[in-house]
Chains A and B, each alone.
Chain A
Amino acid sequence: MNLTEEQKTIGRRNFLKAVAGVPALVVLGGAALTRGPIKGGPVKIALVGTGDMGKGLLNQYQREVCDLKALCDINPKRRAGMVEMMVKKGWPKPNEYDDWQEMIQKEDLEAVHIATPLWTHSTIAVGALNAGKHVLCEKMMAKSAQECQQMIDAAKTNNRVLEIGYQRYYNPIYQAAYTNIIKQGLLGDVYHARLAWHRNASWRRPAEDPPAPNFDASKYGYPDWEHLLNWRMYRKYSEGLLCELGSHQITAASWFFDSHPEAVYANGGTYKYKDGREVYDHIYATFNYPGGRTATFSSIQSNAFDENYEMYMGTKGTLIMTRELEAYLFNEGEGTATTRVDVSRQSSSPVADAAASQPANSAARTVSPAEGIVNKGISYLNEIAEFCSAIRTGGPVRCGGEKAMTSAVAILTGNLAAEKQARLEIPSPSST
């Protein structure tokens, strides 16, 4: 999304005006009125998958909420790097494993955080849940509706927390936009959301030597090291752009629409990078929501001008969320003029006050309107903190199994539609 500096300034100011004056504080606790501290210290956790995602997550682990006991990865080089990083950050040295099952058996764990390639999610999650561990699994939930259902069932049977990590749910900007703009009706009726994630790169990882000369990827289900390194390129392991990028935005759109899509048209192909990859490098999908609402998603690998954004076009206003970092609000009919919407309900700003008094290490549940910009890491930080909190307090999670499965089914149906170049009904949660 390319706005001029002037547009950005105005849009950002409008956004901040709209979110100020309404407390964005969301309390997730239970229902009792008189409540003291809930026993239990940091949650004993282990991370499975120490790739790029795992690294980003580990950076947001806080010792107040979790006690990192172990790291598991089939790549010893990556794993060692992460252990070193954590020790540098002052953590006690976590134990290392290449087998998640062995880790679950040997370690005294309460929870497992999964950040592995998509195709392994359900096996690890179900195994961990059946071993009595709570599970935080990074998106997308799993590679089929059946696998998603198995995860939900395992969580229910074992009475454990299952949360799927869609970080937008934990992003203070998204929370403020939902609570103070969408729910307040400041956009009027929204019939269209445009979701875009455009890049001009191959999506392949730079060439890298195997972690050891004798490293045998076939032990882990990959024919060779290259397939492991670039697992996102192959259909056995990955659901491609619509899943890896699109599922974030589709899930956010479903959240903002308070609904889920009923049908999807899609098409795409491998047009630019004919390098042996099995997933598309261009995909275009149109998701139909109830009430005549439509979200279009495009992800291309041949032009990065648009970067990534979500744009909600309402009868009264337009909301643009860019790169998970910034938000802009424009009043319909005024172009980029300052909004006339009166949102100054209080003279002081409880949002700002709450943010200012928030201890740095606690789960920040408020938006800081200082610049309208957040550090992207705070979403992961909140995600992990709220998962640990749900374990201890029994509070709800923002994206549990059912919600995540609904979203995953929409994405998987989208990929099928793209393959068939057709319109497909998305099975509703009750019929899957």
Chain B
Amino acid sequence: MTSDYQEKLSTAQRFALVALRTLIGWHFLYEAYYKLAAPAWSPAGGPLPAWTAANYLKGASGPLAGIFQRMINAGLTSWIDRTVKVALLLIGLSLLLGLFTRIGATAALIFLSLFYLLYVPTIGVPQPNAEGTYLIVNKTLIEAAAVLVLLLFDTGRIAGLDLLFKRRRVVSGNEMRAINETRNTEEPVPTMREAS
């Protein structure tokens, strides 16, 4: 993605993309926060036990369920738990801050794909203790698709800390030659909105 491409987007379109990234970032970050905070107490007063992915993975029925269940049986539960907590935290921060956004979005896509492939909804009727009715497509898959959009539009370069890196790169790469060539033609220097 280049800044040229992004500049063709309207302000509303760019705003919507960044808003989408922020919401998904919050979702990841809060999931991480909760898992890191436990054991804790619910505001209603009940104890919240330490978080573990074990029960979630044991109950999985999707194509990847077998692999993870073997990992649990091999004693890797605490490793999985730690990895998930740290990954969710880093992905959340990345998407919320727009920092290393493409790496964050790629990781988010991988994790959401794992979650989807652990629990593919194949029964299209309401399930006990779960909201909504899903067949093949559930909200995890939709969130993954939304992350794919974020990845392709590289929204860290619309708004986010990635902009800090962009400035450096613009003046050191092909853009510099373009600037020089433009100057050689003695035409007025075009406004390079984000070039310093």
Contacts and interface: CB of A to CB of B under 8 A. Distances in A.
A210 interface: no
Contacts of A42: 39, 47
Interface stretch (B30-38, B118-126, B158-166, B185-193): B30-38
Given A37-B34, A357-B129, A363 B40 contact: no
Contacts of A29: 42-45
A393 B45 contact: yes
A28 B39 contact: no
Nearest to A390: B45
Interface in A363-415: 363, 385-386, 388-390, 392-393, 395
B130 to A, nearest CB: 13
Interface residues of A, number: 28
A213 B33 CA distance: 57
Interface in B19-74: 30, 33-34, 37-50
Contacts of B44: 27-29
A36 B37 contact: yes
**Chain A CB within 10 Å — which of B38, B45, B49 has the most?**
B45
A64 B49 contact: yes
Contact of A389 (B38, B39, B46, B129): B46
A37 B50 CA distance: 12
Interface size class of B (residues with CB under 8 A): 10 to 19
Contacts of A386: 45
A5 B43 CA distance: 43
A145 B81 CA distance: 53
Contact of B41 (A27, A32, A40, A62): A40
A290 interface: no
Which DSSP category, helix, strand, loop or mixed, fits chain A's interface? loop
B43 A35 contact: yes
B33 A36 contact: yes
Interface in A1-38: 27-30, 32, 35-38
Contacts of A92: none
A113 B38 CA distance: 25
Nearest to B128: A357
A32 B43 contact: yes
A385 B47 contact: yes
A41 interface: yes
Given A37-B38, A41-B40, A357-B129, A64 B47 contact: yes
B81 to A, nearest CB: 16
**Chain A CB within 10 Å — which of B39, B43, B44 has the most?**
B43
Interface string A52-66: 000000000010110
A288 B37 CA distance: 51
Contacts of B45: 27-29, 363, 385-386, 389-390, 393, 395
A388 B48 CA distance: 12
A30 B46 CA distance: 13
Given A36-B33, A42-B47, A392 B129 contact: no
A37 B46 contact: no
A39 interface: yes
A65 B42 contact: no
Contacts of A389: 41, 45-47
A42 B46 CA distance: 11
A357 B46 CA distance: 14
Contacts of A385: 45-47
A62 B39 CA distance: 14
A176 B61 CA distance: 40
A41 B33 CA distance: 15
A432 interface: no
Contacts of A65: 47
Given A64-B47, A65-B47, A362-B46, A392 B34 contact: no
A224 B135 CA distance: 76
A390 B45 CA distance: 7
Contacts of A388: 47
A339 B38 CA distance: 47
Nearest to B51: A37
Contacts of B42: 29, 37-38
A35 B42 CA distance: 8
Contacts of A41: 39-40, 50
Contacts of B46: 362-363, 385, 389
The 7 closest A-B pairs by CB, nearest first: A389-B45, A37-B40, A35-B43, A64-B47, A41-B39, A392-B41, A38-B41
Given A36-B37, A361-B47, A389-B46, 12 more contacts: A28-B45, A35-B43, A36-B30, A37-B42, A37-B48, A38-B40, A39-B40, A40-B41, A41-B50, A363-B45, A389-B41, A395-B45
Interface of B: 30, 33-34, 37-50, 129
19 contacts: A28-B44, A29-B43, A29-B44, A30-B43, A36-B37, A37-B40, A37-B41, A37-B48, A38-B41, A40-B39, A41-B39, A65-B47, A357-B129, A362-B46, A363-B46, A385-B46, A385-B47, A389-B41, A389-B45
